[in-house]
Amino acid sequence: MSDKPAKTRVVILGGGTAGWMTAAALVKQLGHACTVELIESEEIGIVGVGEATLPHIRFFVESLGLDEADFMKATHATFKLGIEFHDFGRVGTHYLHPFGSFGAPLNDIPFHHYWLQLQSKGKGGELWDSSICNVMAARNRFAPPPPGSALYSYAYQFDATLFGPYLRDYSIARGAVRTEGKVVDVERDAETGDVTSLKMESGERIEGDLFVDCSGFRALLIGQTLQEEWEDWSRWLPCDRAVAMPCTPPPGGIEPYTRAHAMSAGWRWRIPLQHRIGNGYVYSSAQISDDEAADALVAAVEGEPLADPRLLKFRAGRRKRSWSNNVVAVGLASGFLEPLESTSIYLVQGAIAQLIELFPIGRIRDEDRAEFNRVTDAEYDRIRDFLILHYHATERADSSFWNHIRTMDVPDSLHQKMELWRRSAHVAKYSQGLFFEPSWVAVYVGQGIMPDGWDQRVATLDPVAVQGAVERMLAQISSAVDPMPDHAEFIRMRNASIEQPR
Amino acid sequence: MNEDGAIRSIVVTGGGIVGLSAAIAFARALPDTSVSVIETPVDPAALADRLPTALPEISRFHALIGLDEQELVRSGIATHHLGTLFRHWSASGEEWVHAFGAYGKPVGTIRFDQVWLRARAAVKALPFDRYSMGAALARAGKFVHPAQDPNFVGSRFLYGLRFDPDRYRERLRAHCEHSRVEFRDGQIADVERREDGGIAALHLEDGARTEADLFVDCAGPSAQLLSGIDDSFEDWGSWLPFGRLTLTSEASGDIPATADRVAAGTESWTIEWPLRGRTMTARIGREGDVRITRGRRLRPWVHNVLALGDAATALDPLQGLNLDAAHSAILLALELLPGRDFHAVEIDEYNRRAEQVTRRMRDFSALPYLRSGRTDGEWAQFVEREPPDSLALTLDQYGFRGRLPFYEEESVTRDSWAAAMLGLGIIPRNLDPQSREVPLEEAVPAMSRLAAEIEQIVAGLPSYADYLARMSR
């Protein structure tokens, strides 16, 4: 076992969020094991629209050793406590999917079980009263959880077009090489099929041992070159386009949460950054035209448009194999799930983490490729089910889009999960993957799927003790939130405002 | 389930530790449900009922059923258990300790076994278990309660319990009396089935007929109730290859050691459990008094029949997981307790998760057989055997670079896997590239300080005899 084998030459194709996140993580965590070269073309541009993230992003930011305030200033970021869904289960309703729990367990029994029993007796109030994130969000307050607290977490809402360049500076400062230009040809080993080099428009050839395909929907290496098969999920997730348009922020505060509004042929995001609101309408092109979608978006946004509507095309699904030969697809080249639950950057982060765990030592092994694909598939499949739930759990019958999605067959894995919930209020448990019990509970209850039963052990709880515990919990939440500053104020206190010098 | 459809009566068959534990747990969790135990005698092959050893997780179970651990120790029923000493069970022939709790200290996000491998390759390092407080205590035969301060090495270990099985069973039985559990003597003469395939009632030899909503089969590996309904079974005999066990007991000094002791021979292996005043020993091999089962029921829950303990999952004694497997299943059954109609969706979820819980227990138990490091006697052929898929992946990933793949519901910790792998002599062929970011000039002295600190703390502690004497005062 040698301590100093030759460095693996990593070539990253594509300089969007996925590309620069990959570069930054590799130079930071595997600087002794690899060289990193990233090819990007200013002509091609990137997909990045305003990005909402999940709490995992904090570990990424932390693992790079970035200063949170500096990172937030650079990306115009705000804090995020969850996603507020409007009109999904039924028009006129809304609920928050919080980055935190509902209440606290009593005698090992999760809160929602005894809350359901209280509900059956006309008591217990709203489930969301027991979510500190919801109380903070409703009052536009923000403060981070105390160190070590697992009560809630938070993420960021930031401008993805600024996040890439921020990580570019970081990566280049730590040794990554950036090459500007377009790839015109991909050269492969005749015997193994491995990619050996990328030929640039300038005539330059860039050789590598491992190629990371961050070329977005084009999937130049994993798709066009290696022809890795695509597994199509559009029968469950029919939205295939988005039109995006930022606007000025409304007067008043900045919400510490993202909003998702169900629309007649899809849904609309609203992501408040420090300086603007990101908006976009994700829709099914089978149901409405691009112009109709753009008009609907323009009509719906609250502020003054800051740009013309911009069109994006995609399809839901993933590659059968994200790692094939010596090409690893990260980001949209690997798969696409609409940003309903802000999962795009998380999937990038997950792929990078697996790539680092399974980073080649010498030649690439089949075993490591298979393991990467095993983990990646599980991530995609579980997120897919969670997204489908948002559409399927609805009473809406006001458009052919909702009629289709309400009545369609869902994957067996989701059907089982929903049946289990309906009967017993249990959430099928998985430790790996993204969404845990409170997330599923939020969507089920928020979209009106109320279970017939709950944990039998609830009957053992003394009603007076339950009442006392609920009251104490509500009091604790309000005494925790009362002193919290306004969200925008906290950004300034944190010295993270774009109005403050970097 | 809402209250109308709830399970109202439970009958447990099997009067051993598992049956009594399950009965108490159900009775205490479900005050409106009647729980009774048909005290069929303990099957000699029901190892979860017969072995004297339990993992640290037992403290959670004891808390749940209201059993006072301190009192168990003071009354001489239980002693503390810090891990297992493995002898003649590695490529190098060196002894090693699988202790509960942490080995060393990670550097940032780099796990300690990776740091250790790097240090070992670059300079030198002491054996892996020298960086574990629990292992050092176990070797020295001492005990102290883990400290509170997480920065202090004295907080980074866990302990299980070891108990006299007969006295522990008696203690559980007495505890049943405080827990609304009723008892029936006797043997089952006949099983009356329901139309849906479940069980309607049990007929006892004295002619009594006992109905229940739920029947819990804790009567040992033959799974008397469950096997009559669904006999599908996954045999693990290829991976846990020894099928016979002889259990003996000998008087010994009053003060036990704090580690279980395992020693491999050429045709068999032995494990010693030092109890107060006596030592229990098991010999496991091709010959022995009792034929033991190794495997699991594919569907431990079918209709209204739930199998627990050896009736559901039967492991050999090597990793001491037997009772832990039973406790995990009891807790899972409580968490997912279905309604009286036992709908397939709910039962399927129990069986899905139960499978995940036991899969890695099997793998961890199989590891020392399939990679014993020995080339003599029976051992040479075990290395040729194809491991179960999840263990094969673990061996490949650990052997190549020291990575451990993730598995749902796995209870075996990374530290435990690393301790066993490295103890057996499975040294990864490559350093994980991430570990090369660890600054050795800092990490190596920190490791030396840690080992010295552990040694010093352990040397300064009084003997376990003193500890027990102080406790009973």
- Tell me if A361 and B7 make a contact (CB, 8 A cut-off): no
Extended strands (E) in B240-353 = 244-251, 259-264, 268-274, 278-285, 290-291, 295-297, 301-302, 305-307, 313-314
Q: Tell me the whole-structure pTM to 2 decimals.
A: 0.94
Q: Which residues of A touch B5 (CB under 8 A)?
A: 453
CA distance A275 to chain B (A): 35
| Domain ranges across chain B | 3-462
The pair of three-digit structure tokens given for residue B102, joined into one six-digit string:
């942490």
Structure letter (DSSP) for residue B251: E
pLDDT at A433: 62
Is B32's Cβ below 8 Å from some Cβ in A? yes
Mutual angle of helices B17-29 and B165-177, in 10-degree steps: 30
Contact across the interface for B2 and A420, Cβ inside 8 Å = no
What is the ipTM metric for this complex?
0.91
**Interface mutation vs chain A, best among B32, B334, B345, most A CBs within 10 Å:** B345
Divide the 502 residues of chain A into consecutive groups of 10 and give the mean pLDDT of each group: 74 95 97 96 70 91 96 96 97 97 92 94 92 97 91 94 95 97 96 97 97 95 97 96 93 93 97 94 97 97 93 94 98 93 92 97 96 94 94 95 95 94 90 80 97 90 91 95 97 94 84
Q: For residue A402, give every residue at least 6 positions away whose Cβ sits within 8 Å of its Cβ, in sequence order, or none.
A: A262, A264, A394, A396
pLDDT score, position B124 = 85
- Find, in chain B, the residue whose alpha carbon is nearest to that of A419: B345
Distance CA B216, CA B232 (A): 17
Whether residue B336 contacts residue B350, with contact meaning beta carbons closer than 8 Å, is answered with yes
CA distance A61 to chain B (A): 14
Q: Is B465 on the interface with A (CB under 8 A)?
A: no
Candidate from A30, A424, A432 with C-beta closest to B338: A424
* Active site residue ranges of A: 80
- Helix orientation angle between A366-392 and B389-401, rounded to the nearest 10 degrees: 120
Q: In terms of CA atoms, which chain B residue is nearest residue A430?
A: B408
How near does any CA of chain B get to the CA of A466, in Å? 16
**B395 interfacial to chain A (CB closer than 8 Å):** no
Tell me the chain A residues in contact with residue B6 when contact means C-beta distances shorter than 8 Å. 456, 459
Domains in chain A (CATH in brackets) are: 8-76+158-233+316-381 (3.50.50.60)
Q: Which residue of A has its CA nearest to B64?
A: A107
- Which residue from B minimizes the CA distance to A114? B2
Q: Which two tokens stand for residue A438?
A: 């409170």
Angle, helices B344-370/B322-335, rounded to nearest 10 degrees: 160
- The model's pLDDT over B298-320, given as tens digits with 9 standing for 90+, comes to 999 999 999 999 999 999 999 99
Residue in chain A closest to B410 (alpha carbons) equals: A431
Can you give the pLDDT at residue A484? Answer: 97
Question: Which positions ≥6 away from B30 have C-beta within 8 Å?
Answer: A456, A457, A459, A460, B6, B7, B10, B337
pLDDT digit string (tens) for B142-173?
Answer: 999 999 998 999 999 999 999 999 999 999 99
Of B32, B121, B335, the CB nearest to A1: B121
List the single residue in A with minimal CA-CA distance to B335: A455
- The span from the CA of A35 to the CA of A23, in Å, is 10
DSSP string, A13-40: E--SHHHHHHHHHHHHHSTTTEEEEEEE
Instruction: Tell whether B440 lies on the interface with A, counting CB pairs under 8 A.
Output: no
Which residues does chain A have within 8 Å of residue B345's beta carbon, measured at their own beta carbons? 416, 419-420, 423
Q: What does the DSSP 8-state code read for residue A486?
A: B
CA-based nearest distance B399→chain A, Å:
12
HEC assignment per residue over chain B: CCHHHCCCEEEEECCCHHHHHHHHHHHHHCCCCEEEEECCCCCCCCHHHHCCEECCCHHHHHHHHCCCHHHHHHCCCEEEECEEEEECCCCCCCCEEEECECCCCCECCECHHHHHHHHHHHCCCCCHHHHCHHHHHHHHCCCCCCCCCCCCHHHCECCEEEECHHHHHHHHHHHHHCCCEEEECCCEEEEEECCCCCEEEEEECCCCEEECCEEEECCCCCCCCHHHCCCCEEECCCCCCCCEEEEEEEECCCCCCCEEEEEECCCEEEEEEECCCEEEEEEEECCCCEECCCEEECCCEECCEEECHHHCEECCCCCCCHHHHHHHHHHHHHHCCCCCCCCHHHHHHHHHHHHHHHHHHHHHHHHHHHCCCCCCCCHHHHCCCCCCHHHHHHHHHHHHHCCCCCCCCCCCCHHHHHHHHHHHCCCCCCCCHHHHHCCHHHHHHHHHHHHHHHHHHHHHCCCHHHHHHHHHC
Question: Which residues in A lie closer than 8 A to residue B301 (C-beta atoms)?
Answer: none
CATH architecture type of domain B3-462: 3-Layer(bba) Sandwich (3.50)
Residues 383-442 of A with CB under 8 A from B: 416, 419-420, 423-424, 426, 428-432
pLDDT, block means (10 residues), chain B with 473 residues = 80 97 96 94 96 96 96 94 96 94 93 96 92 97 94 95 96 94 92 95 94 97 96 97 96 85 95 93 96 98 98 97 98 94 94 95 98 91 95 98 94 96 96 92 95 97 91 76
Residues in chain B within 8 Å Cβ distance of A29: 434, 437
Cβ-defined contact of B409 to A431 (cutoff 8 Å) = yes
Interface of B with A in 48-87 (CB under 8 A): 64
Which residue is it, tokens 């040294």? B427
* Per-residue model confidence (pLDDT) at position A51: 82
Q: Any CB–CB contact under 8 A between A455 and chain B?
A: yes
* B23 CA: distance to closest CA in chain A (Å): 15
Q: Return phi, psi of residue B281, to 5°.
A: -130, 140
